[in-house]
């Protein structure tokens, strides 16, 4: 997708040029078939107007495409920043959880040694996390 967006500055003018030339050729061909001198003057005006209209249309399309690309890039950048922030928060929570589980195991071992009796069972919310350790 990025390669297509990166080709937009090259492809847009090329397609615009082909479109302008095609439209100009069609208007010229149509105008050439008329024989009247008054018609020739009107044809020249029509040709210029048509080329201007086509050129203005392609220019507007190009501007719209640039605006859309800029908005898309801004949105992608915003989303990437949010993902990076969420990933960092997730890493912090994992480190905190690992440290908390380790600390709880140390406290349980200390209680078991101090009172020389079985340690009370952990609450259900953390029992699974504590069960994953061999000394739990």
Rounded to two decimals, the pTM is 0.46
Q: What is the pLDDT of residues 25-50, one digit of tens each?
A: 787 777 676 555 666 677 778 888 98
For residue 59, CA distances in Å to 27, 48, 70, 72, 127 come to 19, 16, 16, 20, 66
Closest to 25 measured CA to CA, from 7, 5, 50, 3: 50
Q: Distance between CA 111 and CA 19 in Å, rounded?
A: 83
Q: Distance between CA 31 and CA 21 in Å, rounded?
A: 15
Q: What is the pLDDT of residues 1-16, one digit of tens each?
A: 677 677 777 777 877 8
């Amino acid at each position: 997708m990025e390669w297509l967006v990166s080709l937009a500055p090259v492809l847009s003018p090329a397609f615009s040029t082909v479109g302008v030339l095609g439209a100009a050729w069609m208007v010229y061909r149509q105008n050439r078939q008329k024989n009247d001198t008054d018609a020739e003057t009107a044809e020249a005006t029509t040709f210029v107007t048509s080329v201007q209209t086509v050129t203005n249309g392609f220019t507007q399309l190009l501007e719209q495409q640039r605006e859309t690309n800029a908005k898309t890039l801004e949105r992608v950048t915003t989303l990437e920043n949010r993902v990076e922030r969420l990933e960092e928060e997730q890493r912090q929570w994992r480190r905190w959880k690992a440290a908390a589980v380790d600390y709880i195991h140390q406290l349980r071992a200390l209680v078991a040694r101090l009172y020389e009796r079985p340690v009370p069972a952990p609450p259900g919310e953390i029992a699974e996390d504590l069960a994953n350790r061999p000394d739990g």
